[in-house]
């Protein structure tokens, strides 16, 4: 989508004061702190099949809100709706019905990350020295998605976390020295090629987008790069560009390539992401920015979000997706649920307006979890969280209805 230039110019004038005050990408970090998105242990993450013990799950129960509006239909004219899931949820027929009722795409919370598909023993004995993958579980997941008529966001190819340390070591030995740059580049290309070729050949057209690189930017320094990442250590600063080069080389021509990160609605990190994205976009390697969007009720600032999206939208045609949306809330009282509904509406008011008025090319919103009983935040925060649109019984919460209201105002 090419954005309306006259509208963009007028919009720029209208928000110039706001953007300046927010330092072009959102302002005070203390006022809009988006949390680190994902954790590395199954004990802390719902991705290991663990459920919030403080919220009674009812995943095998038929959905209660049979007459509620379908999210995917309500938002169909604006952008697609997705949700992060795990394979056991796809295998439960009632849960799968609920997923397909509201969403057009899924993201696997953990099961397509390198930790889950790399085979250390086979890699160490491979004659060509390249990493070996075990894709049977992924194949089964993709078959379930296809059978259900769902699309998939691939998550994720290159990440410093949930990637085994031995991948970067001599002989794939956890205690070995780091390999040299050329060896690591060869391993990176081999891994990306094998994953994408498998998707292209075995499940063509299923994965419509990939988070090629996840969480590459440092939280606190304008230089941008997370220098403690083993990808950075072994390859160097250009590992991001190399990953996108390989992904573009092997991905299906219709598959969109994304740079995904958290905390990119404010300050120096937003500027760093914009710089990296600009370089990749100008070289034809990048299709979109993934804004993870793990927000907190106490700190969420819609002005920061609006300024950041508008900043990224200056790369005309760049897709913008909210890839891991949730809004942490540790209080399930009616007052707190109403406040959460108001904040969710503010958030959706921003993205719906920018998309509807052609100020930004918003193409997908994906929620990071199906309902409050399966959220990763309870483990990460060490307190019960109620961050999503549906409660443990898949019943719509007040925030569900407020989100619906946002888009109906533009219908």
The CATH number given to whatever domain includes residue 364 is: 3.20.20.80
Burial zone of 353 (CB within 10 Å; 0-12 exposed, 13-18 middle, 19+ buried): middle
Strands 294-296 and 319-328 come out as: parallel
Q: What is the mean pLDDT of residues 252-264?
A: 97
User: What's the pLDDT score for residue 410?
Assistant: 84
- Quote the strand ranges of 27-104, DSSP E: 80-85
Closest CA to 387 of 379, 106, 158: 379
pLDDT of residue 2: 47
Q: Identify the weakest region by mean pLDDT among 163-177, 193-207, 397-411.
A: 397-411
pLDDT tens digits along 294-326: 999 999 999 999 999 999 999 999 999 999 999
User: With contact defined as beta carbons under 8 Å apart, do 280 and 286 qualify?
Assistant: yes
CA 298 to mean position of chain CA atoms: 22
At 222, is the pLDDT very low, low, confident or very high (cuts 50, 70, 90)?
low
Q: Phi, psi (5° rounding) for residue 214? A: -125, 125
**158: pLDDT strictly greater than 80:** yes
Q: What is the pLDDT of residue 409?
A: 83
Encoded tokens for 394: 């898949």
Model confidence at 25: pLDDT above 80 = no
- The mean of the pLDDT values for the chain is 88
Active centre residues (catalytic): 215, 324
Residue 411 has pLDDT above 80, yes or no: no
pLDDT for the residue numbered 393: 95
Percent of the chain at pLDDT above 90?
80
pTM for the full predicted model: 0.89
Reported confidence tier of residue 146, pLDDT bands at 50, 70, 90: very high
| For residues 272-284, average pLDDT | 97
Of 48-52, 216-220, 323-327, 380-384, where does mean pLDDT reach its minimum? Answer: 48-52
Q: What is the pLDDT of residues 52-65, one digit of tens each?
A: 434 443 433 434 44
Q: What total number of domains does the chain contain?
A: 1
Range of the domain at 281: 5-408
Does the structure show a pLDDT above 70 at 292?
yes
């Amino acid at each position: 989508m090419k954005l309306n230039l006259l509208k963009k110019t007028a919009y720029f004038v209208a928000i110039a004061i706001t953007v300046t005050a927010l330092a072009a990408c959102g302002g005070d970090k203390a006022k809009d702190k988006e949390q680190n998105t994902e954790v590395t242990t199954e004990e802390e993450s719902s991705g290991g099949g663990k459920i919030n013990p403080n919220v009674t799950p009812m995943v095998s129960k038929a959905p209660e809100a049979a007459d509620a509006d379908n999210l995917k239909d309500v938002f169909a004219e604006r952008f697609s709706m997705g949700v992060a899931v795990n394979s056991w949820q796809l295998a439960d027929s009632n849960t799968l019905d609920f997923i397909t009722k509201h969403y057009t795409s899924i993201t696997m919370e953990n099961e397509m990350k390198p930790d889950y598909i790399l085979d250390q023993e086979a890699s160490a004995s491979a004659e060509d020295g390249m990493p070996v993958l075990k894709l049977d579980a992924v194949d089964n997941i993709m078959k379930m998605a296809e059978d259900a008529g769902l699309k998939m966001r691939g998550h994720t190819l290159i990440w410093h976390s949930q990637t085994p340390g031995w991948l970067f070591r001599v002989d794939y030995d956890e205690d070995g020295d780091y390999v040299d740059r050329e060896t690591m580049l060869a391993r990176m290309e081999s891994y990306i090629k094998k994953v994408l070729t498998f998707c292209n050949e075995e499940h063509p057209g299923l994965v419509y987008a990939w988070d090629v690189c996840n969480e590459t930017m440092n939280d606190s320094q304008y230089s941008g790069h997370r220098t403690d990442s083993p990808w950075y250590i072994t390859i160097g600063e250009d590992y991001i560009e190399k990953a996108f080069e390989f992904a573009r080389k092997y991905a299906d021509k219709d598959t969109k390539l994304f740079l995904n990160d958290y905390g990119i609605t404010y300050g120096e990190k937003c500027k760093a992401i914009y710089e990296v994205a600009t370089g990749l976009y100008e070289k034809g390697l990048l299709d979109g920015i993934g804004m993870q969007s793990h927000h907190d009720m106490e700190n969420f600032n819609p002005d920061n979000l609006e300024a950041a999206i508008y900043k990224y939208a200056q790369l005309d045609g760049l897709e913008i997706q909210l890839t891991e949306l949730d809004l942490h809330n540790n209080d399930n009282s009616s007052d707190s649920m109403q406040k959460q509904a108001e904040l969710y509406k503010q958030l959706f008011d921003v993205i719906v307006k920018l998309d509807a008025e052609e100020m930004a090319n918003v193409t997908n919103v994906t929620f990071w979890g199906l309902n409050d009983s399966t959220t990763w935040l309870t483990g990460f925060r060490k307190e019960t969280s109620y961050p999503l649109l549906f409660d443990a019984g898949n019943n719509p919460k007040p925030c569900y209805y407020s989100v619906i209201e946002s888009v109906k105002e533009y219908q």
